[in-house]
Structure 1
């Protein structure tokens, strides 16, 4: 879980400049706010000059389209890292990854699309800089907590399971990810009983988070689940053929929730490593997954290390990173802890 060979972690300073691509979108604006709040030098990139001018930031602004490779190269010139929030990633995300790899610039993004992540892992294994998709809420807590749990077990891991309990919040990005998950959901997906610290809860196996986690889980079986009300769980297994048909409705949803709604939305992520030697578990919890996505992305842009396409836990040192992003403010709350067996 230590640093990898290749690009070292960024040291914040006067010469550090983070390039933010997709700065006018819902997540992009939150990331711009986080960069400004922390006083980190940055530049903003997006297609619309009018929308770009409205982003509250003193940063340099680049009007560009992700299809303009030359303009992307200019945007990344001198950057110490790039954060991409340009989605849907499976359709729009690859040019930014290619530009980062071409220019040797560390790359992180907010994707929740596992097929995109798998494509990036396959295509950029030999990139000269760290290429790390999935550094928002969708994967950072789960992937890093799982790595810590496996290390805590200290022996053979036969299964690594990550269980997510989160209040649903309407947004286009979340809905797109849900549809993708449903397409991969098997009608015979298992319903599990999961021991959270307060009580046992019902969860359904969802293929969400297993692509990055499988990269560093060794031979362990990877399981990811979503906690649902007991009466709902059996029904969800039959939605694999229904939800994908609702994809055209996704674009009618709000761009993202209001700050008040975000602040009310709490979550817990439980990672369990199981093996002949017993069980080790790590719990992450907090509120405002959108505000935390901005926090995670900025911290990841500063701290990713190594070279090539990697899962978050391969490019970040899990315990120090989780400690770094722990805290509570008006933009979200996050904490984590080891659980006793």
Structure 2
């Protein structure tokens, strides 16, 4: 006998378990599916037929993709969701997977939310806020991610490995004790669609103590079977302990520059993995129409209006020739 559910959750790793706990706390019926035996059932998210069979059995309203390498799983899972008539949401910020979703279904007949998690959801919202702080089209926008006390999950490291060939070289920032990596974030993909006249630069920096461990997975070797095996060894921690996760802090600064002046938006908060779980749960409760949506389009105003609930502090500043309304506009 099959178990009907509201959400079929693909991925029973670190972030997937946090999402599951958040949904269950809200009374949402969840079935977890993964290739690992600890999930409710075994499903291969890389194979459309495998996902479609699970969707047929459980008939959920949404399928949530919390697997690691989204470049391999996003399109097959979305194809299954379209065939089953249910919504699709993932937590990826991988630019290649977001671009593939747009290409595969430019006008999806079901609601689709791509990249509904940290860091992309907050970074994209900051980018749009900065752009709306200036008068007229911006020439450039820079999104700077700075993490403190950061311990990436194995899934984040695996996603980072898929982007290894796109990464720039690490460099020392003028600020003491900080390094940054040119980052091929999903903001580049969506900004090119909405703001083709604007050049987008993304940087990712970590305090010196956390940088060495992260470079081990990102800047040294490329994506290889050996590295993937090391990150998925049985018994290895899948991510930081809860008390470490909650101590992780971030500052995301988006700076837009236009002929008329400049504008910035800054988001500060803690617990990025907990934030991802909360973003997913909130998005699934919102009325989202059919089509492919980014987090800004699906939950942008909600993310700002309920910033306190998300433990985010927003700052916005404009330096232009004209006065600007500093309230948050509707995002779309």
**Normalized against structure 2, the TM-score is what?**
0.78
* 1:175 pairs with 2:152: no
Deviation at 1:47, TM superposition (A): 4.0
Q: Secondary structure at the match of 1:303?
A: coil
Per-residue displacement from partner, 1:1-44 (whole Å, max 9, x unpaired)?
Answer: xxxxxxxxxxxxxxxx74132253221111111112233x2321
For residues 240-277 of structure 1, the C-alpha deviation after alignment (integer angstroms, 9 at most, x for no partner) is 87331676234424311110110111111111221012
Deviations 1:165-219 (A, max 9, x none): 01331421221233334311245x887769xxxx997644322232233332331
- Partners of 2:37 and 2:246 in 1: CA distance: 29
Contact 1:205–1:226, Cα closer than 8 Å, also in 2: yes
Contact 1:191 1:202 in 2 (8 A): yes
What is the CA-CA distance between 1:121 and the residue it aligns to? 1.4
**Higher RCO by CA contacts (8 Å cutoff, separation 6 or greater):** 1
Question: CA separation in 1, counterparts of 2:249 and 2:174?
Answer: 21
> CA, structure 1 residues 340+82, in 2 after alignment: closer, same or farther (shift >3 Å)?
same
Relative to 1, partners in 2 of residues 1:252 and 1:221: Cα closer, same or farther, differing over 3 Å? same
Other-structure match for 1:42: 29
The 1:138–1:241 alpha-carbon spacing in structure 2 relative to 1, beyond 3 Å, is: closer
Q: Residues 9 and 20 of structure 2 are in contact (CA less than 8 Å); yes or no, is this contact kept in structure 1?
A: no
Match of 1:267 in 2: 250
- Conservation of the 8 A alpha-carbon contact between 1:20 and 1:28: no
> Which residue of 1 is the match for residue 184 of structure 2?
207
Aligned length: 302
User: Is the Cα–Cα contact under 8 Å of residues 133 and 318 in structure 2 kept in the other structure?
Assistant: no
If the length of structure 1 is used for normalisation, what is the TM-score? 0.76
Map of 2:317 onto structure 1: 339
Give the equivalent residue in structure 2 for 1:96.
Answer: 77
Cα displacement (A) at 1:310: 3.2
Unpaired stretches in structure 2, ≥5 consecutive residues = 232-236, 320-332
Closer/same/farther in 2, CA of residues 134 and 251 from structure 1, 3 Å limit: farther
CA distance in 2, matches of 1:178, 1:49: 22
| Alpha-carbon separation, structure 2, partners of 1:281 and 1:316 | 22
Q: Which residue of 2 aligns with 1:112?
A: 93
CA deviation profile, 1:257-302 (whole Å, cap 9, x unmatched): 1101101111111112210121111111111111111011122223
Alignment of 1:222-301 (within 5 A): 222-227=200-205, 242-244=220-222, 248-253=226-231, 254-301=237-284
For 1:200 and 1:148, the matched residues in 2 are separated by: 29
CA contact (8 A) 1:107 1:301 kept: no
Preserved CA contact (<8 Å) 2:62 2:88: yes
Q: Secondary structure at the match of 1:299?
A: helix
